[in-house]
Amino acid sequence: MTSDSLDAARGAARIGPFYVTEGIHNLRDYGGYAVPGGGRVREGVLLRSGQHMEASEADLALIDALGIRTVIDLRGTSEREGFPCRRHPDFAAQVIAYDGETSNSPPHEGGGGQIVMTPQKARERMLAVYTRMPVNPAMIWVFREYFNALDTNGGASLVHCFAGKDRTGIAASLLLHVLGVHHEDIVHEFLLTNDAPTRAILERQSLPRMETHYGTIDPEALHNLMGVLPEYIETYIEKVTADHGSLDAYLETILGVDGVRKERLRAKLVA
């Protein structure tokens, strides 16, 4: 990153951890959290968001200024083809993505058939997403690559999916756990999605397709689909713990994050 780009990134308009954007939902820094021993997760190097199909020229300039050298795209092939990300002319980051599908038409993307989408049905649909995620071979592959990239690549990274809340939320939460962030802070970061000032962008991208399947959606049901609840992340952790004994055991045996890798990641990402 040049000095001019660094100055631009530092001067970018923010609302708390959220960068002000015109066509990217939920772009934010997920660093800054305290870890045992007095350190904090570095800021300016760990970014997360929704897709970039509607990124404006100003958004692309911001992404360029942030010095992102690795993009982990958690979407599947059909999502990437249907909603291709716009790129800055100077974009040169490594993009990591799975060759195939990573999800089964998540409810917030308009999948699941024509039903009346009540708040309870929306909650149940999303809990099913979080129950499947730990055992989904595609998500296991891409999460492993996410940790590989963070371990081996330099510079800032961006992890994103379609809405930047479920697959992305778990990716960020797993990393913060590895870095030693307290569970309450991890849940806090996960729930920040509900405060994103760009909800209108996600609704513009998703609501027409959702209403094709579900008709007019109750506001509480819409929140359950487009936002996140504490029980979403807890469901993921409970499934992992039931299958593997602990989140740390899952990280080591399934995602390849053993003690040595944890120490490397902490040395790189905690200051």
Q: DSSP states of 211-263 as a string? A: HHHHSS--HHHHHHHHS--HHHHHHHHHHHHHHHSSHHHHHHHTT---HHHHH
Mean pLDDT of 44-71: 97
- Greater confidence (210 vs 146) lies with 146
Above 70 in pLDDT, residue 127?
yes
* Residue-level pLDDT at 212: 84
Question: pLDDT of 19-31, one tens digit each?
Answer: 999 999 999 999 9
CB-based contacts of 39, cutoff 8 Å, min separation 6? 270, 271
User: pLDDT at residue 192 above 50?
Assistant: yes
Say whether pLDDT at 147 is over 90. Answer: yes
The catalytically annotated residue of 142, 161, 226, 247 is 161
Domain boundaries, the chain: 3-269
Reply yes or no on whether the pLDDT at 114 is more than 70: no
Four-point Cα dihedral 231, 235, 237, 239, nearest 10: 170
Contact 168, 159 (CB under 8 A): yes
Q: Are 128 and 224 in contact (CB under 8 A)?
A: no
What's residue 260's pLDDT?
Answer: 98
With 0-12 CB in 10 A as exposed, 13-18 as middle and 19+ as buried, what is 84?
exposed
Q: What would the pLDDT profile of 65-111 be if each residue is shown by its tens digit?
A: 999 999 999 999 999 999 999 999 999 999 999 999 998 765 555 55
pLDDT of amino acid 7: 47
Beta-bridge partners for 217: none
pLDDT of residue 105: 61
Residue-level pLDDT at 213: 80
What is the rounded CA–CA span in Å between residue 87 and residue 44?
A: 20
The CA distances from residue 236 to 126, 129, 131, in Å, are 11, 9, 6
The order of strands in the sheet holding 46-49 is 14-15, 18-19, 28-29, 46-49, 156-160, 68-73, 94-97
228 with 202: CB under 8 angstroms? no
pLDDT at 113: 58
Relative to beta strand 46-49, strand 156-160 is: parallel
Phi, psi at 94, each rounded to 5°: -75, 130
**What's the whole-number mean pLDDT along residues 54-63?**
96
pLDDT of residue 3: 43
Question: What CATH number labels 3-269?
Answer: 3.90.190.10
Extract the tokens encoding 62.
């911001």
Buried b / exposed e over 24-42, threshold 16 CB at 10 Å, is bbbbbbbbebebeeeeebb
Query: pLDDT tens digit string along 208-222?
Result: 988 888 888 999 999
Please report the pLDDT score of residue 106 as a whole number.
Answer: 56
**For residue 145, pLDDT beyond 50:** yes
Q: Is 161 considered catalytic here?
A: yes
* Mean pLDDT in residue range 157-178: 98
Position 95: which residue type? Answer: V
Sign of CA dihedral 215, 218, 222, 228: negative
Amino acid occupying residue 192: L
